[in-house]
Chain A
Amino acid sequence: MIPFVAVVSLRDQQSRTFRLWIPMVLIWLVLLPLGVLLSPFIFIACLVGGVNPFRGVVVMWQIFSALSDTQLDVEHRSAGLSFHIF
C-alpha cells in the first residue's frame, strides 16, 4: 500500500517543536497526471537504455509501496528532526 501521510517534526534548540503533516495522497494526485504526460518520453528513454519499461513501472510502484513505516530521526544537542512516513 502506498504511503498516505508523512510527518516531519522539527525541534529547535529552545525545544520548540514544529510538526508538519503532509498528505501524500495529494502528492500522488499531482504526480499521476505528470507521470502520464511524461510516460511516452520515459518509455522511449527506457527502450534506448535497454530497460524494460513495464518492469521499471512495476519496480517503482513496489518502491513507493514499500516506503510506509520508513523513519528517520536525527538529534543534535537539543535540536532534532524526525521524518516518518505512514
Chain B
Amino acid sequence: MSEHRRQILEMLSEGKVNADEAERLISASEGPSSLSSEPGSASAGKSRPKYLRVQVDSEDDGGHEGPTKVNVRVPMQLLRAGVKLAYLIPAAAMQKANLAMLEKGIPVDLTQIKPENLEELVEQLSDLTVDVDQKDANSKVKVRVFCE
C-alpha cells in the first residue's frame, strides 16, 4: 500500500474527509492508472522485466578457497522460448517426468505449463525476489534472484 493511500485512508477513518473525497484524493495521487477498473491494469504501468538475474556471493572466511562471485543474466525472451520448448515434449515423456517428480515429493504437473499461461507467469516474475543468506563458521553465502 503506498504512503499516500495510507494517509488518505487514515484521514477517512478519522472523519476528516468523506468517502467521495477520499476516492478523489486516491485517484489524484495515483494518476491515470487508477482510473481503469480492469484487474490487469494495475500492472500496465509497471515496466516489463527484461532480464532474470542470479547473483551468488560466497566469502570463505577461514578456509583457503577465497571469495567466489557468480553473476548470471538471462533475457526473459529466453525463458519464454524455453517454456515453449517444454511444450514440445511428447505427452508420454511428460507423464514420466511428472511421475518422477512426484516420487521426489514435487507435485508439479508439467502438462499445465503452456505458452498461454506464460505471459502471466512472466508478469508475476517481475515482483520475484529471492534472497538467501547463509552463514556458518567458515563461510558466508548470499544468493539473490530477481528480475529487472
Real binding pair = yes
Binding site for B on A (CB under 8 A): 49-52, 55-56, 59-60, 62-63, 65-77
Interchain CB contact under 8 A, A70 and B74: yes
The CA-CA distance from A59 to B81 in the complex, in Å, is 6
DSSP class of A's interface residues: helix, strand, loop or mixed? Answer: mixed
Give the segment of B15-23, B86-94, B135-143 that binds chain A.
B86-94
Interchain CB contact under 8 A, A65 and B90: no
Interchain CB contact under 8 A, B81 and A63: yes
Interchain CB contact under 8 A, A69 and B69: no
Known: A50-B91, A59-B84. A71 touches B71 (CB 8 A): yes
Residues of B within 8 A of A51 (CB): 88-90
The residue on B at minimum CB distance from A68 is B75
Q: A73-B69, A77-B67 are in contact. List 16 more A-B contacts (CB 8 A).
A: A50-B90, A50-B91, A50-B92, A56-B88, A59-B81, A59-B84, A59-B88, A62-B77, A63-B85, A66-B78, A66-B81, A70-B78, A74-B70, A74-B71, A75-B70, A77-B66
Residues of A within 8 A of B77 (CB): 62, 65-66
Interchain CB contact under 8 A, A70 and B75: yes
The residue on A at minimum CB distance from B69 is A75
- CB of B80 within 8 Å of the partner chain: yes
Interchain CB contact under 8 A, A76 and B66: yes
The CA-CA distance from A67 to B77 in the complex, in Å, is 8
- CB of B146 within 8 Å of the partner chain: no
Rounded to whole Å, the gap between the CB of B93 and the closest CB of chain A is 8
Interchain CB contact under 8 A, A52 and B88: yes
Residues of B within 8 A of A74 (CB): 68-71
Interchain CB contact under 8 A, B69 and A63: no
Residues of B within 8 A of A69 (CB): 51, 73, 75
